[in-house]
Amino acid sequence: MHPIVPAIMALGAITFLIGIFVLAWFGIQKIKIVKLMGKEYTSWRFTLSTIGSGVLLIMSSILFHQHFPYEPETEPNVQQFQSVLSPNLKYELDLILSNNKNGATASYISQFQQEYQKALQDEDDKTTQILKLELAYKLRTELEGQGYTPDQAEQNITRIMKLL
């Protein structure tokens, strides 16, 4: 939704409600003529113009939203999409991968994050699923190579995937 649409709609709703309130007030007070900025208006003309302009603003905001879709301008940049793990998540990953001696798992994870963010930006669901499977396979082989049982490796992979 374009950022100006809610502002126009709110302005229209406020104008409409003011018109309804003024109509009710003029009816109660039995006022026939309104003096506004040095000019005299009949009460029905004043209320009709406020209610009408409120409806007009609401309808124009709807049409504006339909005919001018909002697409924020962003330049795709891999650095922009690289997610940074919070210290808590990084600590938990280090606990899970405490036996990792060569640092290959950390490089797998950082590569996964970059490619996954790029695939999310491109809205490519197949690539995201393939990347998840690839990371799970790499982690499984790495953990089993470190002496984890298949059940332990699967539990750790599940925890890692939840963290990422």
How do the residues of the chain divide into helix, strand and coil, expressed in percent and rounded to 5?
A: 70, 5, 25
Is position 30 within any domain?
yes
Residues 6 or more apart whose Cβ sits within 8 Å of residue 35: 41
Q: Do 158 and 82 fall within a single domain?
A: yes
Distances (CA, A) of 134 to 30, 88, 120, 140: 77, 25, 16, 10
Is position 73 within any domain?
no
- Per the structure, the complete domain to which residue 83 belongs is given by 78-163
Q: Which two tokens stand for residue 62?
A: 């709807």
Is position 41 within any domain?
yes
Q: How many domains does the chain have?
A: 2
Q: Do 125 and 150 fall within a single domain?
A: yes
Residue pLDDT, tens place only, 95-137: 666 665 556 677 777 777 788 888 888 888 888 888 888 888 8
Residue pLDDT, tens place only, 22-80: 888 888 888 888 787 888 878 888 888 899 999 999 999 989 888 887 777 654 443 44
Q: Do 33 and 55 fall within a single domain?
A: yes
Q: Which two tokens stand for residue 87?
A: 């210290």
Q: Do 110 and 157 fall within a single domain?
A: yes
User: Could you tell me the pTM of the whole model?
Assistant: 0.43
